[in-house]
Amino acid sequence: MLGRLTVEALPFYSWVAMGGAAVTVGGGIAVFLLITWLRAWKVLWTDWLTSVDHKKIGIMYVVLALVMLVRGFVDALMMRAQQAFSLNSEGYLPPEHFEQIFSSHGTIMIFFVAMPFLTGLINIIVPQQIGARDVAFPFLNSVSLWMTAAGAALVLISLVVGKFSQAGWTGYPPYSGVEYSPGVGVDYWLWALITSGVGSTLSGINFIVTIVKNRCPGMTFMRMPMFTWTTLCISILIAFSFPALTVVAGQLTLDRTLGFHFFTNGDGGNMMMFANLLWIWGHPEVYILILPAFGIFSEVVATFSRKRLFGYTSLVYATACIALLSFTVWLHHFFTMGSSANVNAIFGIATMIIAVPTGVKIFDWLFTMYKGRIEFHPSMVYTIGFMVTFVIGGVTGVLLALPPADYLMHNSTFLVAHFHNMLIPGALFGYFAGLNYWFPKAFGFKLDTKWGIRSFWCWIIGFYLAFMPLYVLGFKGMSRRMEHYADPTWQPYLIVAAIGALFVLCGIACIAIQLYVSARKWGSARDITGDPWNGRTLEWATSSPPAPYNFAVLPEVTDIDAFHDMKILGQAYQPPQHYEDIVMPKNTWIGPALGALAFALGFAFVWYIWWLVALCFVLSLVCVGIRASDDNSEFVLPAAEVARIERERLAQISPADMHDMHDYVPRGAASGAPLTGTV
Amino acid sequence: MNHSAERSLSTYLTGFVLAVLLTAIPFALVWGGLLAGSAVYAVIAVAAVLQVIVHLVFFLHIDLKSTPAENLFFLAFAAVLIFIMVGGSLWIMMDLHHRMQ
Amino acid sequence: MSAATILEEEQKHALHSREFGFWIYLMTDAVIFALLFASYAVLAENSAAGPTSNDLFDLSRTAIETGLLLVSSLTFGMASIALMHDQKGRVVQWLFVTLLLGLAFLAMEMGEFGGMIEKGAGPEVSGFLSAFFTLVGTHGLHVAFGSLGIVVMIGQVLVKGLTAPVRSRLMRLGLFWHFLDIVWIGIFSAVYLPGVL
């Protein structure tokens, strides 16, 4: 009846495991009680969970990412604490628990922090940046969100029922095969990946179609804001690389569940194919995480330098180059597998080439700042911190791209330091910059800057303290993922790294305090114009938070930085001649239902509860069938209602709230003159 | 993929005849044992590629003029990526296989 | 503009988007198949102690399967032509013929799989057989979903008539069906024919 699920699966075997389970269950109960106490269940269900509004879906993605960031960071803290003390001793974590922690840390940070964070920001902003009322497939968007949430839920429930994978976030066989990992851990990992991977693929397709088909009149490809460009590129990367993850995860699942021999040690399996297929997905994935952050940095640096982005065209081409090249370097993740010199050399050279367009971008941002009137808003400070720190990571990356050097540093803490050096400044700082930059757009009031700056300093100091020692330790020969060690000269470095983790803890606390403080005094920090930073792109033309339809009348665009030009020319905040009816998608329960079914399906597969697998499968088909035959999924918002909302908004804006644009002159196509002079 | 062009019976029939021919050639070669060695593989590969093109043109109605540019772009992009992924994988794995012996 | 015309405009745009989105989905599916082909190519020689492709493949069966799929592509084309001429009855007839051909293909494939498993050549025997069953089985699964799609669309044509959304769905289903035939070209060229050489 319950497959291999028995009472033994509950975590009564160790205090640490029970602690983790208690926090998870306790957190769930606390949230449940809070919502009940606020009597918010109905609002939550009708306005949020069933919503197909891209802004709300985006906010839910970001909330999911922040919750999982805390979970993933607790893992990091536990690892740092273990290694700080485990010189010639067991530390406080047994090996099998330590292994689960580094596996879940990587899995969570990649799939359930970075992916939902960037998808959330994209959801909130991109349709507004291209002057659209919605994404191409609003319902599919809801399905994507709930598939991702289902994957996250599978990782969370593994803390309470059963165990998580011990095979690292990359899960290489044969260790992740059923012979060496017979438990449910690897299955949880696989089903979390497959479920969230389906969600990501759907959102990739959704945003390709949105950007290609839904741009407002006049917005040619070369007039799209940089963040939209990076989104288009990563959506293509998602659509074409996630199939590889689906294939490799599916094959390992078949190996484990039905006794296939794709990656087994004997019977004609080939475990090296796993590494090959995994990294065909894995390397583009790195750029999927980083490119949207590059887009955010581009927006932020132009806005807070009060200048047009330097070298827009070169940034576009650099992004496109990175996107294509990211499919040609995957072997550098396994140089040491023993390919011949020719193979390693070609992939090494390709890897070094990919550093070139990335360098182009750094110069473009620096030249944008050059002679600009820089304002040190938290998002700008994060951007500057990123540029300084990311370059160090880039340099160590080029070092690792040399196969002979890689043979020495492979699987050492040098590698760990390198990829954290790319992903913390390169991705996470970008998302935090985006959070500070676009928060008023999503919620209608600004975030506190004091706590924003504090969070930045804690994060950057914490980052350097935590990871610079790991570079040194890598040179001293320390392997990654060590539960304990015997070299006393390592310990001081590991203690410094642990102190760094405590600084990062302060950084996360600052963000929490920032959110709390800002919410407490939101009335005094309201964003009335919808344009708090004198922004340049179309998302600042809508109200904050935007009306459900974003734009009452679709804007027309003649140049990049469209909204900036509108403000200079006095065209912003002007009521249109007349309003029109607007078609809106209706909310639907099918998105969350499919997510719940995906979660149950994954759980049933993990525990071999076959009747539940069949039931979930059939119910999913029924849900899809109900949706497919529903020809009444939209409604019309009448023009009168649109006019009421818009008049109310415009009445609030007094000229004193607007930015003084006297110092600016329109540039490029909007000025009607060729590109001369400086701003 | 195109809405305007004529999808006439003759298009489908031409495609069908060509596809039958391109299927029959490799089957006949293998069955009859007419060729030996790597030449057979070459003929099978060429016939397969040609038949894929026949299907794309006559059944999926891909053509350079009337198919939307974005559809063509993604078709070409997929072809390039499949080439990189499959070609790269085989190159890497054959190389490893060779060095394992 | 009245609400009805706005809805209609919106619907037209939405259908175009869906057709484009479906095209991208097909490309991603093509990548999945490409990687399954790559896996098969890597594992094809690894029959361990089990039977090899020469012991198992029966080219005459493959030829018939190939014929069934190829003819079904033609019959779906007939349905598309009938759709263009608004011949509702013809559309249903040709879809029904296509469905029968698809089911016949599936029956043959299931017979083949069943026979192999009976002979002790199931997917759990060797790397070669794992890759074979996964590649060919994934294609078969797609044909099964395609057949289900045809059943649903026959129902929609009969109930709703040839409305704009129904036409668009039929067009997308056609793309899917022709796409599966292309994948099959890969399967007989990369799996069955080299397998008996």
Quote the ipTM score.
Answer: 0.95
Q: Do B93 and A339 touch (CB under 8 A)?
A: no
Answer for the pair C14, A132: CB distance below 8 angstroms, yes or no. Answer: no
Interface contact A490, partner B, CB < 8 A:
no
Average pLDDT over residues A450-468: 98
- Chain B interface, mutation test: which of A213, A241, A280, A336, most B Cβ atoms within 10 Å? A280
Of C106 and A652, which is predicted with more confidence?
C106
Contact status of C59 with chain A (Cβ, < 8 Å)? no
Q: What is the pLDDT of residue A432?
A: 98
pLDDT of residue A671: 58
Whole-angstrom Cα distance, residue A376 to residue A390?
19
A340, A342, A344, A347: which to substitute to probe chain B, counting the most B Cβ within 10 Å? A340
Per-residue pLDDT, A625: 87
Give A320-360 pLDDT, tens digit per residue.
999 999 999 999 999 999 999 999 999 999 999 999 999 99
Residue A398, exposed/middle/buried by CB under 10 A (0-12, 13-18, 19+)? middle
| Residues of chain B in Cβ contact (below 8 Å) with chain A | 70, 77-78, 81, 84-85, 88-89, 91-93, 95-96, 98-100
Interface with chain C: mutation pick from B12, B13, B56, B80, highest number of C CBs within 10 Å: B12
SS3 C55: helix
One-letter identity of residue C19: E
pLDDT bracket for residue A16 (50, 70, 90): confident
Could you tell me if C53 and C127 are in contact, meaning their C-beta atoms sit under 8 angstroms apart?
no
Mean pLDDT on C19-27:
96
Whether C124 has its CB under 8 Å from any CB of chain A: the answer is yes
pLDDT digits (tens, 9 = 90+) for A381-431: 999 999 999 999 999 999 999 999 999 999 999 999 999 999 999 999 999
pLDDT, mean over chain A: 94
Nearest one of A505, A564, A533 to A225, comparing CA atoms = A564
B78, B81, B95: residue with CB nearest A343: B95
Interface contact flag, A270 C46, Cβ < 8 Å: yes
- Which residues, listed in sequence order, are joined to residue A526 by a DSSP beta bridge? A445
Look at C32 and A242 and tell me if their CB atoms are within 8 Å: no
Chains near B (3 or more Cβ pairs under 8 Å): A, C
pLDDT band at A15 (very low <50, low <70, confident <90, very high): confident
Q: Phi first, then psi: what are they for A173, rounded to 5°? A: -75, 160
Q: Beta strand A582-585 with A634-637: parallel, antiparallel or unpaired?
A: antiparallel
Query: Is residue C126 scored above 50 in pLDDT?
Result: yes
- pLDDT higher than threshold 80 for residue A621: yes
Cross-chain residue pair A268–C43, CB shorter than 8 Å: yes
Structural domains in chain C, sorted by start? 3-196 (1.20.120.80)
The full set of domain ranges for chain A reads 40-580
The pLDDT score that the predictor gives to residue B2 is 44
Mean pLDDT of A284-308: 96
- pLDDT at site A496: 98
Write b or e for each residue in C47-59: b if 16 or more Cβ atoms lie within 10 A of its Cβ, otherwise e.
Answer: bbebbbbeebbeb
Separation in Å, CA of B56 to nearest CA in chain A: 20
pTM for the predicted model, two decimal places: 0.95
Tell me what pLDDT residue B6 has.
55
What is the phi-psi region of residue A528: left when phi exceeds 0, alpha when psi lies from -120 to 50, beta otherwise?
Answer: alpha
CB contact under 8 A, C13 and A213: yes
Q: What angle do CA C184, C187, C189 make, to 5 degrees?
A: 110
**What top-level class would CATH report for the domain A40-580?**
mainly alpha
| A84 touches A623 (CB < 8 A) | no
Q: Return the number of CB contacts < 8 Å for A and C.
A: 122
Q: Are A286 and C162 in contact (CB under 8 A)?
A: no
Chain B: closest CA distance from residue A212 (Å): 8
Angle in degrees, CA C10, C16, C21, rounded to 5: 120
Which residues make beta-bridge pairs with A472?
Answer: none
CB distance B96–A212 less than 8 Å?
no
Q: Assign A464 a pLDDT band (cuts: 50, 70, 90).
A: very high
- Map tokens 């869906």 to a residue: C18
Task: Please indicate if any CB of chain B lies within 8 Å of the CB of A571.
Answer: no
Examine the pLDDT at A674 and tell me if it is beyond 70: no
**pLDDT computed for residue B32 by the predictor:** 84
For residue A272, list chain B residues with Cβ-Cβ distance below 8 A.
93, 96
Q: What is the pLDDT of residues A359-375, one digit of tens each?
A: 999 999 999 999 999 99
**pLDDT at position B4, please?**
40
On whether the CB atoms of residues A19 and A402 are closer than 8 A, the answer is no
**Residue A474 CB-density burial (10 A; 0-12 exposed, 13-18 middle, 19+ buried):** buried
- In A521-589, which residue ranges form alpha helices assigned H by DSSP? 562-568
Question: What is the reported pLDDT for A672?
Answer: 56
Beta carbons of C123 and A251 less than 8 Å apart: no
pLDDT at C6 over 80: no
User: A272 in contact with B at a CB cutoff of 8 Å?
Assistant: yes
b/e per residue, A198-226, with b = 16+ CB within 10 A?
A: bbbbbbbbbbbbbbbbbbbeebeeebbbb
A236 and B CB contact within 8 Å: yes
Helix A272-305 crosses helix A413-423 at what angle (to 10 degrees)? Answer: 40
Mean pLDDT on B11-22: 95
Q: How far apart are CA A437 and CA A447, in angstroms?
A: 9
Average pLDDT (A504-514) is: 97
How does DSSP assign C81-125, residue by residue?
A: HHHHTT-HHHHHHHHHHHHHHHHHHHHHHHHHHHHHHHTT--TTS
Helical packing angle, A226-258 and A115-129, nearest 10° = 140
Partner residue facing C126 (CB), from A213, A267, A625: A267
Smallest CA–CA distance from B89 into chain A, residue: A276
CA distance linking residue A187 with residue A190, whole number of Å:
5
Closest partner residue to C38 (CB to CB) among B47, B77, B89 is B89
Mean pLDDT of all residues in B71-100: 95
Candidate from A1-5, A423-427, C114-118 with smallest mean pLDDT: A1-5
Query: A144 with A553: CB under 8 angstroms?
Result: no
Q: Quick one: average pLDDT of A562-586?
A: 90
User: Of C127, A98, A473, A57, nearest to B93 (Cα)?
Assistant: C127
% of chain A surpassing 90 pLDDT = 87
**Chain A: closest CA distance from residue C53 (Å):** 14
Rg from Cα positions in chain C: 20
d(CA A124, CA A57) in angstroms, rounded, equals 8
Three-state DSSP at A87 gives strand
CA atoms of C72 and A455, how far apart (whole Å)? 63
pLDDT at A515 over 50: yes
d(CA A525, CA A514): 13
* Greatest mean pLDDT range, A262-266, B48-52, C12-16: B48-52
Average pLDDT, chain B: 89
Mean pLDDT across the stretch A463-474?
Answer: 97
Closest among A73, A81, A70, A69 to A111, alpha carbons compared: A69
Q: What is the pLDDT of residue A675?
A: 46
Q: Which of 25-64 (B) contact C at CB < 8 A?
A: 26-27, 30-31, 40-41, 44-45, 47-48, 51-52, 55-56, 59-60
Q: In chain C, which residues have their Cβ closer than 8 Å to the Cβ of A240?
A: 27-28, 31
pLDDT for A678 equals 39
Check whether B24 has a pLDDT greater than 90: yes
Q: What is the mean pLDDT of residues C147-172?
A: 93
